[in-house]
Structure 1
């Protein structure tokens, strides 16, 4: 006999949502504190040794460092270097590609650790974040290799730096606020992020739990899932996960979590399903985020080139990672 809706809500939905909400609040507050106290800058300092092998000027290392704290600021610095003539279009595309891993570093502290891992659980969450870190690092390495092969002195004009003030585009300098104020603001940010996410989290998780309790989703989606299952070996339940993930990462993770708990997905197949959802989501994210952001930074013509390079490399390396996971 199916359990009553109220018992499902009280016994399963509420404890899970409350646990995730506490983890998100604490995690985001901790991440904000790391940024406020400057810890993230030391993590990002790994960027500078990459510019030499890629035949890029040292100034690009500052832009890459800044990307780990603010993607917009990092891209803004590179746009300024391109506009001034320090970098030509080819060198700028190489620098943008190298930026990838350090943009990912920012998301570890602001999204993956405080939000996604609590939803997915430690094992699946760490495997997913580790896989995405490897993908981002591979894209950055591709950029370094491309710079070593494709760039020369013809792509760089050092004299152009006389017209550029790099300090004006940095990450805002040292945070001079008192430590107590930094911690208070970090905690406030954690609560605000939780209030932003919690309503959607509660609604999606409730629908997923009720759906998995009262309906056989594998039977409902089995026909549509046959080609996917034949191609990847993923469970047919991957279809609703991929569909939701393609439109919203957090909701996709919430949709996946109960299937991991009941054993429908292993850690490997769960991460594989999210990677497939990531590939599908590029169409949505390009129109929702990439075009407005990149066109705003670079203009339509060069922004289109940046989007094409970023998307192509992401799909390539995600596909390689997916093949590796499914082959295990």
Structure 2
């Protein structure tokens, strides 16, 4: 077992520095976009996304940014919320709408180059299609929620930076300086939370054996006993259980584990169901390891908790829908 100092320096610190850099890029881009009026230009495209949800056009910039960097997109939304463009309800809806555009990035960075070659073209496309449908469904929920719960006259884009002088009254140096100062202020409020939460999470993961021992003391030492009824309910063979267990820790390893079983032991549909069940159960681990540190760092504990609850509930609901669709096929 690593020492506490080693965990903090080798695991928590690099993650905090990486996330801080990405957030800084996102917030910095948002501030530069405001200073140079680029928000209005990009928002012309995002307008088609935000208008049905009664969100201001400027939010379309953050939504589209998610297709390149989820962290940067969230950073821009956080900046808009901080500046008063969005209240908590509108921010939550914007976060939900972000889902599919964040998925687009993963198609090029993970699903396409990594997962499809492992699973094969047929099963890979089936699984990626299922994940795309889940993400797209969540985004549609956000659009519907905005159409029902928001009014378009409640959010005025002019509130992004009401004290900024007219564009032609500022030099480039002044605009860059203003953007840098606003970005630094934002990072000063985010980085301490990131450092604390990530440190706690990685320390807890390092001592996970002791935590598992506590579960074992109350009779929960055999994960198979929990998963067997689920696999039986879905008609999955026993070979699916180890795949689900491995997927809890690492989805890529889960895909590698299930690949040799495709065709002989598991049908393509059963393979996709197995991976979806693994992703559903692993939501808890993913929330603790990634979502809580990231969302708390961006929004703080109070609003971050709301974002996490909404995201987890929607993901779980649509994963269940996808499982039901493949089960019915």
Per the normalisation by structure 2, the TM-score is 0.67
Cα-to-partner distance string for 1:98-139 (whole Å, 9 max, x where unaligned): 000000000000000001111111111000001100110000
Superposed, which structure 2 residues align to 1:238-317 within 5 Å?
238-261=240-263, 263-317=264-318
* d(CA) in 1 for partners of 2:121, 2:163: 45
Cα-to-partner distance string for 1:61-108 (whole Å, 9 max, x where unaligned): 110111110111100000011011100000000000000000000000
> Would you say the 8 A contact 1:86–1:158 is kept in 2?
yes
Match for residue 229 of structure 2 among 213, 220, 227: 227
Cα-to-partner distance string for 1:249-288 (whole Å, 9 max, x where unaligned): 1111011111115x21111110001110011111101111
Aligned residues: 234
Q: After the TM superposition, which parts of structure 1 deviate over 3 Å for at least 4 consecutive aligned residues?
A: 45-48, 163-169, 221-226
Q: Which residue of 2 aligns with 1:90?
A: 89
* d(CA) in 2 for partners of 1:223, 1:75: 39
- Measured after TM superposition, the shift of residue 157 of structure 1 is 3.5
Unaligned 5+ segments in structure 2 are 1-43, 165-174, 181-222
* d(CA) in 2 for partners of 1:153, 1:224: 47
* d(CA) in 2 for partners of 1:164, 1:238: 59
* d(CA) in 1 for partners of 2:73, 2:163: 15
> Would you say the 8 A contact 1:88–1:155 is kept in 2?
no
* d(CA) in 1 for partners of 2:253, 2:107: 18
> Would you say the 8 A contact 1:242–1:274 is kept in 2?
yes
Q: Which residue of 2 aligns with 1:147?
A: 146
The answer to which of 314-323 and 160-169 deviates more is: 160-169
> Would the alpha carbon gap of residues 164 and 304 (structure 1) be closer, same or farther in structure 2, given more than 3 Å must change?
farther
Partner SS state of residue 161, structure 2 = helix
> Would you say the 8 A contact 2:55–2:152 is kept in 1?
no
> Would the alpha carbon gap of residues 164 and 144 (structure 1) be closer, same or farther in structure 2, given more than 3 Å must change?
farther
Q: Which residue of 2 aligns with 1:102?
A: 101
- Measured after TM superposition, the shift of residue 317 of structure 1 is 0.6
Q: Which residue of 1 aligns with 2:238?
A: 236
Superposed, which structure 2 residues align to 1:82-231 within 5 Å?
82-153=81-152, 155-163=154-162, 226-231=228-233
> Would you say the 8 A contact 2:231–2:241 is kept in 1?
no
- Measured after TM superposition, the shift of residue 153 of structure 1 is 4.3
Partner SS state of residue 266, structure 2 = coil
- Measured after TM superposition, the shift of residue 295 of structure 1 is 0.8
* d(CA) in 2 for partners of 1:88, 1:222: 45
* d(CA) in 2 for partners of 1:130, 1:164: 46
- Measured after TM superposition, the shift of residue 155 of structure 1 is 4.3
Q: Which residue of 2 aligns with 1:217?
A: none
RMSD of aligned residue pairs (Cα, Å): 2.6
> Would you say the 8 A contact 1:222–1:236 is kept in 2?
no
Q: Which residue of 2 aligns with 1:201?
A: none
